[in-house]
Structure 1
Amino acid sequence: MARAILLLASLVIFGNVFSIHSAFSPSLIVEMATVFMDNYCYPEKLAGMQEAISHASSNTEILNIPDGGTLATVLTAGVQTTIHDPRVVVSHEPNYVPVASHALPPLPPDQLIDIVKSSVKLDVLENNIGYLRIDHIMGEKVAEKLGPLLLENVWNKVLLTSALIFDLRHASSGEVSGIPYIVSYFTDAEPAIHIDTIYDRPSDTTTELWTITTLLGNRYGSTKDLIILTSEHTTGVAEDIAYALKSLKRATIVGEKTAGGSVKIEKLKVGETDFYVSVPVAKSTSSITGKSWEVSGVSPCVPVSSANALDAALKIIALRSQIPAMIQEAAGLVADNYAFAQIGADVAEKLKGLVKKGHYSMVTSEEDLKATLSADLAELSGDKNLKAASHTPVMMPPENPSPEMIVDLIKLSFHMDVFEHNIGYLRFDMFGDFEQVATIAQIIVEHVWNKVVNTDALIVDLRYNLGGPTTSIAGFCSYFFDADKKILLDKLYNRHSDTTSEMWSLTELTGHRYGTKKSLIILTSGVTAGAAEEFVYIMKKLGRAMIVGEVTSGGSHPPENFRLGVSDVFLSVPVIHSDTTQGPAWEGAGISPHIPVPAGDALDTAKGILNKQLTGKK
């Protein structure tokens, strides 16, 4: 009731904006509201309207409005603002002539063929890609007359294509009865699918739309690529078709968000006046999603301008044609290279199964493929490090850097401090390659290591360390053990060579060792990854350090990248894993700290532990 009174009140208020005499009957608004109330497809929004109309009928105030066009504009704004439905339009059209129906009169065959050719545009593009443009969706009766001609001149040619681009960018009219036919040609015969439920307000009837089990001619099927092009002008029945095929995951929508129209809008005359109300008299509710595309429109899967939609569709189809081979290649690479051989073999077989099931048939870009493939690999293997990725060029250091440049780089890469009680602090966020580090080892010792080596305890902060090469791990570990005894740090299995190598501590180092006697605490976080985790894993396993912070990232030894086909999609495969004879290693799972605390609190916790230790010793 409140909404209805607000609607009529807004009409009267808008109608009194002007202060000159009107040539229109004072009953115009009431008659207009009555037409709207009797036909609008959402009657639940109009509760109490009848009472409001009776109240408005007793109002003798004369509308002050200069002309019909202005009045229509004002009334349209009032209605749309009140019910939040932009489809309702009031117009003043003294010369309006109703649009003729699309029923076909009896015509000779040659004229019917001309109608088919003018109504439907068909082309076969390069690589046997079909292009079908329809601007008006034919209803059941017209389709019955033109069916055999459509089959012979259009559809049989469409059936021979490998993929289809269905252009609805200019489709702005159509018949509801045509919806099931079009959807059915792109789905299987069985089981029948409940597509839509349409409520018609004037007749107070509800109609269910289902796919049709028996059709004239063959179906395009449910597996070949189907891309629908849309624009902001795509409206009505065409929107219903696009929404149904999108919701069934049968078609990819490329282009612009559609108009958000209605399955049925009627222009209704207001009494004996020249005013009309265009009002949605039927509403669509998808039986697939339980929602409607009306008002909101159909959002594209791939949003691009209408003008670029065709080119975008062709690129998608070209990519999809390569995907089965790319996934097959990925499966082979995983089987042959993944560090854990049995898991790799299982993942490869499951990937091939996903291809056969059409799992990748709706991929729309290389980025989409990378995301989908990565998610599948992680789920199938339990290892987030086995994934699809982009190729990242290796940043090469400058040739022949000056000593000053090297010192500046080292100062930026390392953070050192000495806290109370002679507690050393060392932070670095990336491990370097052994050969590169070896060439500047003396400089690192002089500018970094010598500032912390003589402390009474040391905190190594790896909370922000993202990893890097593992070749320098043995050397770094060795600084925390004594020279008189070689320590087996880890065993590494290499899938490429199918061999296991041993990582031992080094007997000769640049600079002094920290040794085994002084306390060492390593700080970790969920960011700590790769080579940093290998270092933490070794030091924890050998009991040389206390770990404080969070569970580490669960990365891997540096993976190898393999390009898939000629695309820009690469497969990142861990090919090495740490010794698992004593239980699971750190790859994929991360390393749990001895003392779990939030990363932000780890440094204070470590300082508190060492302060107590060193104070007690003194």
Structure 2
Amino acid sequence: MARAIVLVASLLIIGNVLFTHATFSPTLIVDMAKIIMDNYCSPEKLVGMKEAIDAAKGNTEVLNIPDAETLANVLSSGVQTTVSDPRLKVSYEQNYVPAVPLKMPPLPPDQLIAVLQTSIKLDILEGNTGYLRIDHILGEEVADKIGPLLLDLVWNKILPTSSLIFDLRYTGSGDVSGIPYIVSYFTKAEPVIHIDSVYDRPSNTTTKLFTMSTLLGDRYGVTKPLIVLTSKNTKGVAEDVAYCLKSLKRATIVGEKTSGGSLKVDKFKVGDTDFYVTVPSAKSINPITGSTWEVVGVTPDVEVNAEDALATAIKIVNLRGRVPAIIEGSASLIAANYAFEAIGDSVAEKLKGLLANGEYGMVVSKDGLETKLSADLKTLSGDKSLKTTSNTPPLPPMDYSPEMFIELIKVSFHTDIFENNIGYLRFDMFGDFEEVKAIAQIIVEHVWNKVVNTNAMIIDLRNNLGGPTTAISGFCSYFFDADKQIVLDKLYDRASGNTTELLSLSELTGERYGSKKSLIILTSAATANAAEEFVYIMKRLGRAMIVGETTAGGSHPPKTFPVGETGIFLSIPTIHSDTTAGPAWEGVGIAPHIPVSADAALEVAKGIFNKHFAGQK
């Protein structure tokens, strides 16, 4: 009721404007309000309108305005603001002649062909891509009359194409009955799909639109790429077609947001005056989304200026044409190289299944394809390291002076000595063996010698993201004795099919920590890759207690593989730890002996050691 009163008040307020050149009866306002109340497509916005109009009937205030057009403009603004609908309009038109719906006259075939060729533009682009532009959407009656001619001149030339660009950038008119016709050519015959519900306010009826099981000619099908071009001039029935195809996920919309028009707009004369009220008298509610394109427009999947839409669509079509080769090439690389053969085979088959099911049919950019492919590979394999990647070449080695190395090491490593002579060592990345070997003496002097003579040690890997595993055997060796070589792990290389033993080293730079003193390793969900291999070895050999969170479940450093000449690259783990004694850590992580939050892990470890050494006193 309140909204309706505000509406009528907004219509009447002009009576307070102090102009003296013309006079209009307040009944004009009441008559306009009645037209809106009886015909506006969303009556829920007009609750209480009748009562408000009855209350306004007694208003005898004279509307003083300079001219009728000024009144019409102000009334339009008031109505549009109150109902939040720019389609409602009031106009003053002294010579208005109602438009008569155009009907196609009986034309000889040659003239009919000329008319169709003018209103429909058809082309076959490079790569067997069809281009079809229609500026008016024909209704059922007309389509039935000229259907065979449309098949011969247009549709049968489109059918053999590999993809279609459907241009609705200039389509501002059409018949509602043509919506199911167009949509059905891009869907299956069965089952029929409920694609729209159209509520007509004057008749208070709702018409459900369904796809059609029987059509003239063949369907384009549901798998070939379909791109619909739109602009701010795409209106009404064309918007509904675009929205239906988008909601069905059958088409990609490229271009500008559409006008946000209406399926049906009626123009009503106000009494015996020359004022008219334009009212959207029907509305569309999509049964799939539960929403509508009216007022708000259809938002494109790829938003570009209308003049750039065709070129953008061609790029998308070309990308989609390469997608099968990209997916099949990725599947082959994974099957041939992934560290765990059975998983690699399974991922490859499932990936090809996604392709066959059309899961990659809606990609619109190379970046989008890479993102989706990465997500699918992670889901199918459970391995975060199996993904798309960039092919960024490694940076050349820096030529550091000894002083620069010392400063770098001070930043990279953190040491401390806690109560009871407990050593603490933190570093957040593993380095390549050759690089570490070259500066081993500097690391020993400025890091290792600070903690090597402690009674026990805490190694903090909570923030260690991994790195190369080439230095793992050397680092592990500091915590075992020199008199016995130990098999730390066995590594299976899928590329060569060989298994190699990772052995402790007999010679090291600096003093060993040895196998007798206690060791606790701190972990978190961020502990990954090379750091996990170290934790895995130390836990499996019973050399350290693990405190913290289950690790990330990464992999040995993956290799980068190009997917043919596509410009897409895959990161594929090709090596895994020995699984003969049970599951390795790749993909699942390493569970700690004592699970606590990463934030609490250090205090827990210190408490364990302090209690241990207190018991020895």
**If the TM-score is normalised by the length of the shorter chain, which range does it land in?**
over 0.9
SS in 1 for 2:571: strand
Aligned residue runs from structure 1 range 161-560, under 5 A: 161-398=161-398, 400-560=399-559
Query: How many Å apart are 1:284 and its aligned residue?
Result: 1.0
Identical amino acids, percent of aligned pairs: 67
CA distance in 1, matches of 2:82, 2:280: 16
Q: Distance in 2 between matches of 1:422 and 1:177?
A: 86
Amino acid at match of 2:477: S
Q: Is the 8 A contact 2:485 2:505 kept in 1?
A: yes
Are 2:606 and 1:613 equivalent residues in the alignment? no
Higher mean Cα deviation, 238-247 or 15-24?
15-24
What is the Cα deviation at residue 342 of structure 1? Answer: 1.6
Mapped to 1, the partners of 2:57 and 2:543 lie a distance apart of 92
Is the contact made by 1:92 and 1:275 (CA closer than 8 Å) also made in structure 2? Answer: yes
Gaps of 5+ in 1: none
Is 254-263 or 373-382 further displaced after alignment?
373-382
SS class of match (1:19): coil
Instruction: Pick which of 312-321 and 61-70 moved more.
Output: 61-70
CA contact (8 A) 1:116 1:149 kept: no
* Contact 2:532/2:590 (<8 A) preserved: yes
Deviates more, 1:543-552 or 1:20-29: 20-29
State the one-letter code of the partner of 2:434: E
SS of residue paired to 2:232: coil
- In structure 2, the CA distance between the partners of 1:83 and 1:607, relative to structure 1 (3 Å rule), is farther
Residues 390, 568 of structure 1: 8 Å contact kept: no
The residue number in structure 2 matching 1:597 is 596
The answer to whether the 8 Å contact 2:334/2:347 transfers is: yes
Distance 1:280 1:475, change over 3 A: same
Per-residue CA deviation, residues 285-316 of structure 1 (Å, 9 max, x unaligned), is 22333322222322222222222221221111
Amino acid at match of 1:541: R
Report the CA distance between 1:464 and its aligned residue: 1.5
Any idea what SS the aligned residue of 1:281 has? strand
How many angstroms does 1:16 deviate by?
Answer: 4.5
Shift of 1:588: 0.5
Separation in 2 of the partners of 1:17 and 1:559? 78
Q: Contact between 1:339 and 1:576, CA under 8 Å: does it hold in 2?
A: yes
Question: Could you tell me which amino acid in structure 1 is paired with residue 458 of structure 2?
Answer: I
Instruction: Tell me the secondary structure at the aligned position of residue 385 of structure 2.
Output: coil
CA distance in 2, matches of 1:143, 1:471: 72
CA distance in 1, matches of 2:483, 2:70: 99
Judged with a 3 Å threshold, the aligned counterparts in structure 2 of structure 1 residues 37 and 454 are, in CA distance, closer, same or farther, namely same
The two structures, once aligned, show a CA RMSD in angstroms of: 1.9
Compared CA separation, residues 135 and 487, structure 1 to 2 (3 A): same
The whole-number CA distance in structure 1 between the counterparts of 2:12 and 2:516 is 91
> Does structure 1 retain, via aligned residues, the 8 Å contact 2:548–2:598?
yes
**What secondary structure sits across from 1:358 in the alignment?**
coil
Contact map agreement 1:366 1:568 (CA 8 A) in 2: no
1:25-80 CA-to-partner distances (Å, cap 9, x unmatched) read: 22121111111011111122222211111111111222343333333333223222
Give the distance between the partners of 1:135 and 1:547, measured in 2 at CA. Answer: 70
Q: Is the 8 A contact 1:261 1:297 kept in 2?
A: yes
CA deviation digits over 1:104-153, x for unaligned, max 9?
A: 22333332222211211111111111111112212122323332332222
Q: Post-superposition shift, 1:484?
A: 2.0
- Report the residue type matching 1:505 in the other structure: S
Unaligned runs of 5+ in 2: none
Residues 571-594 of structure 1, C-alpha deviation per residue, up to 9 Å, x if partnerless? 221111111122211111011122
C-alpha deviations, 1:216-264, integer Å up to 9, x for none? Answer: 2222222211101112222211111111111222111112222222211
| Secondary structure in structure 2 of the residue aligned to 1:206 | strand
| TM-score, with structure 2 as normaliser | 0.95
Q: Identify the range of structure 1 (81-90 vs 250-259) with the bigger mean alpha-carbon deviation.
A: 81-90
Whole-angstrom distance in 2 between the partners of 1:467 and 1:309 = 45
- Higher mean displacement: 408-417 or 554-563: 408-417
3-state SS in 2 of match to 1:250: coil
Mapped partners of 1:302, 1:596: distance in 2 = 47
Cα gap change, 1:513/1:155 in structure 2, threshold over 3 Å: closer, same or farther?
Answer: same
Aligned to 2:515, the other structure's residue is in SS state coil
Partner of 2:67: 67
What CA deviation, in whole Å up to 9, does each residue of 1:381-408 have, x standing for no partner?
A: 333322233333323322x332223223
For residues 68 and 397 of structure 2, the distance between their equivalents in structure 1, rounded to whole angstroms, comes to 77
Distance change in 2, residues 1:106/1:343 (3 Å): same
Partner AA of 1:316 in structure 2:
I
Amino acid at match of 1:222: V
Q: CA deviation at 1:530?
A: 0.5
Mapped to 1, the partners of 2:51 and 2:153 lie a distance apart of 57
Q: C-alpha offsets along residues 355-410 of structure 1, whole Å, 9 cap, x if unaligned? A: 23323222222222223222332333333322233333323322x33222322322
Distance between the aligned counterparts of 1:481 and 1:415, measured in 2?
22
Q: Which amino acid aligns with 2:73?
A: T
Alpha-carbon separation, structure 1, partners of 2:600 and 2:63? 73
Q: Count matched residues.
A: 616
Task: Within 5 Å, give how 1:36-185 maps onto structure 2.
Answer: 36-185=36-185
CA contact (8 A) 1:33 1:53 kept: yes
Q: What are the superposed Cα offsets for residues 404-426 of structure 1, whole Å, 9 maximum, x if unpaired? A: 23223222322223334433322
- Structure 1 residues 108 and 429, CA gap change in structure 2 (3 angstroms): same
Deviation of 1:17 after TM superposition, in Å, equals 5.9
- Partner SS for 1:448: helix
Report the equivalent of 1:29. 29
Distance 1:471 1:218, change over 3 A: same
Q: Aligned partners of 1:17 and 1:538: how far apart in 2?
A: 88
Deviations 1:140-173 (A, max 9, x none): 2232333233222222221232111001122222
